[in-house]
Structure 1
């Protein structure tokens, strides 16, 4: 049996849906069955929803019973390290054979992971997992293309989006590509002791991103470069908690310090997944960006 945690989040949900598309049974750990059902996960064939809390081993008996491989995802929060390390302990106790950690690695060349609290936490959990004695694999995507959907309201209304990246490049990867890789990795096993980085197929400035959204929607879209201080004010005005805005400030500062981005497609190639170009992603979401259907 395969278990996916964090099944109601962006990546967890995409991976569970990929299992359903491939008609392969999967168990999905959720904290609230009602919420998970309302999100549509309960309607997917072959998906066994199980309620539990990754931080509390006593709630995980049914979830971990008979599980061979686990994909471990949890919310990026201040307690991520503790949450995932406790869950790793529960997996070891339950006799799980292989834990795949959904991790992350920035695409910027020379990026210091210790300068951003969430990449720092990912590395802490990776080291803990490597030391416990189970088979492990780290799946490390870079920035997600889907983060640009956060800017869809101003793109649709004003034909513009406002970030503080200047001419910094990023190499965003489509969450659907990650889901396809994760499905094949979990279904087939193997790759123990490997760290699998993933980026998208292009290193793009925000001006490049704007051009591709414009191409996809048939409407002019421009990138407006704002100061880091203005970006922070925009985040707080949008309801982002101050602690999370602090973390994003750390990430932004390191990205601006290391403005060139690498492209790494070896994991796509290893699992036979065609990399999605950003314009194709933008066409798929053209309506959200203010274009036609």
Structure 2
């Protein structure tokens, strides 16, 4: 078989898909700005060479309206591909999802489903690893999670579970034409997340609920562009408006087991020293 193309291959999910394919002896090819064949979502001249020889691809799109639009253009130009697995997000296209980030995600999903490819769309909840491998890690280290999520809950999922589901979808063509929503086993508010992380780290960690515009201001002060800051605010607005307080059973459907609980993930992650001050 041709190597599976992993777009954004150095991201949280791409790394895990690659590890799973490695374990199964399945050939793959990573695509990123630093790969042997450089790939850049925002440089269309890199796309054709990246696609050359690819039959199946895993696509984890960039965040934000511009990045999602670029991913859609890429799919429309993905000549030679037969199979595509897309990382999307829960709630795309659902009634009441009136935030710009969801509009962009829905547009991308529509491009994928109309592409003529054998597609699978996986819609995960927020990744628990956002607190250990992404910008939320710095909030944990500072002892304050400063976000505009209000009192809403989210069914946080271990990204290892996401990688397992993605790999299965890539290798098992019976999932073609399906949209699969996945999440952790329970919902947690940010206040509850702070308590879980306090227990796991042994340090006091609190949640500070910011007003959305104050959140944008802090993100821009930290170096985000206004567009990216708006996109982050919109993501947390879904939680703030209690639109993500539900559990999805896709992990059990695909893997035949329950997803990992946040408590277990946090305790094991604390042992790695990632939150040591």
Which residue number corresponds to residue 288 of structure 1?
Answer: 274
For the pair 1:139 / 2:122, whether they are aligned, the reply is yes
Q: How does 1:1-293 map to 2 (within 5 A)?
A: 1=2, 2-33=4-35, 50-53=37-40, 59-91=46-78, 93-94=79-80, 96-106=81-91, 112-113=96-97, 115-149=98-132, 150-157=135-142, 159-258=143-242, 261-272=245-256, 274-286=258-270, 287-290=273-276
TM-score, with length taken from structure 1: 0.80
**1:177 & 1:26 partners in 2: Cα distance?**
20
Unmatched 5+ residue regions in structure 2? none
After superposition, the Cα gap between the structure-2 partners of 1:258 and 1:118, relative to the gap in structure 1 and judged at 3 Å, is: same
User: In the alignment, is the contact (CA less than 8 A) between 2:60 and 2:87 conserved in 1?
Assistant: yes
User: In the alignment, is the contact (CA less than 8 A) between 2:88 and 2:124 conserved in 1?
Assistant: yes
After superposition, the Cα gap between the structure-2 partners of 1:87 and 1:213, relative to the gap in structure 1 and judged at 3 Å, is: same
**1:88 & 1:151 partners in 2: Cα distance?**
30
**2:158 & 2:144 partners in 1: Cα distance?**
21
After superposition, the Cα gap between the structure-2 partners of 1:102 and 1:155, relative to the gap in structure 1 and judged at 3 Å, is: closer
Supply the RMSD in Å over aligned alpha carbons.
2.6
* Per-residue deviation, 1:187: 2.0
**1:252 & 1:198 partners in 2: Cα distance?**
18
* Per-residue deviation, 1:209: 0.7
TM-score, with length taken from structure 2: 0.85
Unmatched 5+ residue regions in structure 1? 34-48
**1:233 & 1:89 partners in 2: Cα distance?**
36
After superposition, the Cα gap between the structure-2 partners of 1:210 and 1:195, relative to the gap in structure 1 and judged at 3 Å, is: same
After superposition, the Cα gap between the structure-2 partners of 1:162 and 1:191, relative to the gap in structure 1 and judged at 3 Å, is: same
